[in-house]
A and B are shown apart, each in its own frame.
Chain A
Amino acid sequence: MELLPVLWNEWVFFKRRFWQITSAALIGPVLYMIAFGWGMGRGVQVEGQPYMAFLIPGIIALTTMNSSYNAVAVQLNIHRLYDRSFQEYIIAPVRVISITAGKILAGALRGMYAGTVILLISLLFGSMVRVNVWFILIMFLNSLVFSALGFYAALVVQSHTDMNRFGTFILTPMVFLCGTFFSPDSIPGAIRYIIYILPLTHTSQGLRGISTGGGVNWIHIVVPAIYFLGLFLLGLRQCCRVEA
């Protein structure tokens, strides 16, 4: 099992930084719930349900996205460009696909951790989220997509500044536009089509569908799955090329 050292590495880090990781993962989503859910959304109905019930699946989607992306991107960027410890992986007799799969899986697990904590916290906000196997699966798929994106990004960029820029230009728009806080259908024309191409839109809509008892729409699983495969392959190719 060549994935084991990679996962162990992340586990050591997770244990050591447990509180930092947990608090960093919570702060954004909890603020969104307070500001948008309680503050602006009180008494508001969206698609025939209280705004809070509409909001929570969106928040779960963006939490799993941010946490898994950051878990991989920040760490790997540091390990590659700052303390150069990524060289340990490159120089070890381990298949590149194991490094890729291990790092991406570890990142996705971090996303799942944050998503689960937010799910529990949302109970405090009186949410009625229905969770089933498909809900968990979509959460995990979303974590894999953005973990893979983080892996690819961290191997492509040449500096810490570029890494930050990547987050600002790719992730931030998705946080707000991809059906997290409001339905993308309220956005006009071409922009709406673009939004429907993005993976996070499918995650938030997929989660919301299940949460409100509407069942699973396959498109919301297929689109993220395609993204994941594509990003995994890109990351793998980049990892073969990377020079430590």
Chain B
Amino acid sequence: MNNVIELRNVVKKFGDTAAVDGIDLSVAKGDFFGLLGPNGAGKTTMFRMMTTLLKPDEGRINMNGFDMNRNRREIKKTMGMVSQHISLQSDMTAEENLELHGMLHKMDRKRRKQRIEELLEFSGLSEHRKKLAGHMSGGMKRRLMIVRALMHEPSVLFMDEPTVGLDPSGRRSIWDILKNLNRQGLTVLLTTHYIEEAEVLCNTVALMDHGKIIAQGNPEKLKQHVGAYVLETFKEGKTRYGFFPSEEEALSRAREIGGELVVRRSNLEDLFLKLTNHGVGG
């Protein structure tokens, strides 16, 4: 079996609304997988179920061959999680937060010390090792969250909006960290609202809306599927988008209509907007 994660018909309801509504999903070993979707689509709920924090109402989740209902502890050992909200202990230092994580994962003292050094170095937090997490800047907290999740050397890493609130250089430095980890064989799943992030990092993306996955695949292929080129026209105070398989076709249509318009390559954002139909007419 080459899939690290398999979900079968997973459902999670909060009251009457199904936050996750019957999802089937497989993630291949070594993949860099992006889960995209509008606010409230159910991404965080999906991640919380896959990381044992929330029990599904229906369906099965399997990770590394372990069943979520029966082998939660085995699953916890091999997975790391960076949650959407900062979850550092604010009255402990960077070092102590990592130490606690290592102890909770039963790493021996020597290995912990060694790993803390590596990770502080890797994340550029070495000088801030004695700083209380509560006194760190947002970007430092994010980096600490990521390396903390890596402390016990998981084989799967979940990251729920890992770069939210970071400046462009901070975001890029996290991208590099993630790319390196993925090259070394780590399977990464992330959610993001930054389409560029998904395009740069992910080999596979899934689009989620109203608790369902509405499209899934390689970003390039998905874009080709809706149309590699976009014709954007601005008329009567509203932007309209038309999708075309090639630049020529887009341009010839553009010449027909005339007026205020742009022809460009399509991106995941177009795909996203087209499929979720949030405020965009085809």
Interface size on B, residues (CB 8 A): 28
Report chain A residues within 8 Å CB of B187: none
B87 in the interface, Cβ–Cβ < 8 Å? yes
B89/A88 in contact, CB under 8 A? yes
B53/A90 in contact, CB under 8 A? yes
Distance in Å from the Cβ of A9 to the closest Cβ of chain B?
6
A94/B104 in contact, CB under 8 A? yes
User: From residue 58 to 89 of chain B, which have CB atoms closer than 8 A to chain A?
Assistant: 73-74, 76-77, 81, 83, 85-89
Q: How far is the CA of A89 from the CA of B52 in the complex (A)?
A: 12
Report chain A residues within 8 Å CB of B99: 8
B103 in the interface, Cβ–Cβ < 8 Å? yes
Contact of A85 (CB < 8 Å), options: B48, B74, B81, B90: B90
B100 in the interface, Cβ–Cβ < 8 Å? yes
B96/A12 in contact, CB under 8 A? yes
User: From residue 1 to 59 of chain A, which have CB atoms closer than 8 A to chain B?
Assistant: 2, 4-5, 8-9, 12-13, 16-17
Q: How far is the CA of A13 from the CA of B132 in the complex (A)?
A: 12
Q: How far is the CA of A164 from the CA of B52 in the complex (A)?
A: 31
Given A79-B89, A83-B90, A84-B85, the answer on whether A89 and B96 have CB atoms closer than 8 Å is no
Report chain A residues within 8 Å CB of B81: 91
Q: How far is the CA of A89 from the CA of B101 in the complex (A)?
A: 9
Q: How far is the CA of A71 from the CA of B87 in the complex (A)?
A: 20
A126 in the interface, Cβ–Cβ < 8 Å? no
Given A8-B100, A243-B54, the answer on whether A92 and B105 have CB atoms closer than 8 Å is yes
Q: How far is the CA of A17 from the CA of B134 in the complex (A)?
A: 15
A159 in the interface, Cβ–Cβ < 8 Å? no
Distance in Å from the Cβ of A211 to the closest Cβ of chain B?
37
User: From residue 83 to 133 of chain A, which have CB atoms closer than 8 A to chain B?
Assistant: 83-85, 87-95
Report chain B residues within 8 Å CB of A91: 51-53, 76, 81
A12/B92 in contact, CB under 8 A? yes
Given A83-B134, A93-B73, the answer on whether A88 and B90 have CB atoms closer than 8 Å is no
B91/A92 in contact, CB under 8 A? no
B103/A4 in contact, CB under 8 A? yes
- Those 6 A-B pairs whose CB atoms lie nearest each other, nearest first: A5-B103, A92-B104, A85-B89, A93-B76, A84-B87, A83-B90
Listed A/B pairs (12) with beta-carbon separation below 8 Å: A8-B100, A8-B103, A13-B92, A16-B91, A83-B87, A88-B89, A92-B104, A93-B76, A93-B77, A94-B104, A243-B48, A243-B54
